[in-house]
Amino acid sequence: MVNEKGSFEENLKKLEKIVKNLEGGELPLKETLECFEEGINLSKQCTRELETAKQKIEKIEK
């Protein structure tokens, strides 16, 4: 369910939305578990992205 191509920003926003949605009301168990799974995947992906990020410097000569 996690969109591997989503940007860090999109994934973080999605994660925040899922947590808010989950905390906002009493969802049925099935949906709660689905949200949980998606949220955990998103958070793992965001964390991985941050931890593996490397600076790239490109010089523009013209």
Partner 1 sequence: MVEEKVNIFTISELTDYIKDKLEGDSKLINIWVKGEISNYTKHSNGHLYFTLKDETSQIGCIMFKRSASSLKFEPKHGMKVLVLSSISVYKPYGKYQLVVSEMHLEGQGALHQKFLQLKEKLEKEGLFSKEFKKPIPKFPKTIGIITSQTGAAIKDLISNLERRFPNTIKLKPTLVQGNGAAKDIVNSIEILNKIQDIEVIILGRGGGSLEDLWCFNEEIVARAIFKSKIPIISAIGHETDFTIADFVADIRASTPSTAAEIAVPDKNELLINIKHLQERLLSKTKKTIELKEQYLISIKDRPIFKRPFDFINQYLQQIDDLALRSNRAILNSLELKRKGLEIITAKLHSLNPKAVLSRGYSITLNRGKIVKTIDDVKINDLINIMIQKGEIKSKVMEVKNGK
- Helix crossing, 8-24 with 29-52: angle to 10°? 150
Report 3-62 residues binding partner 1 (CB under 8 A). Answer: 7-9, 12, 15-16, 18-19, 22-23, 26-27, 29, 32-33, 35-36, 39-40, 43, 46-47, 50-51, 53-62
Query: Residue 13 CB, nearest distance to partner 1 (Å)?
Result: 10
Query: Residue 44 CB, nearest distance to partner 1 (Å)?
Result: 9
Report the distance separating Cα 45 and Cα 47, nearest Å. 5
58 conformational bin, left if phi > 0, alpha if psi -120 to 50, beta if neither: beta
1 counts as binding partner 1 under rule CB under 8 A: no
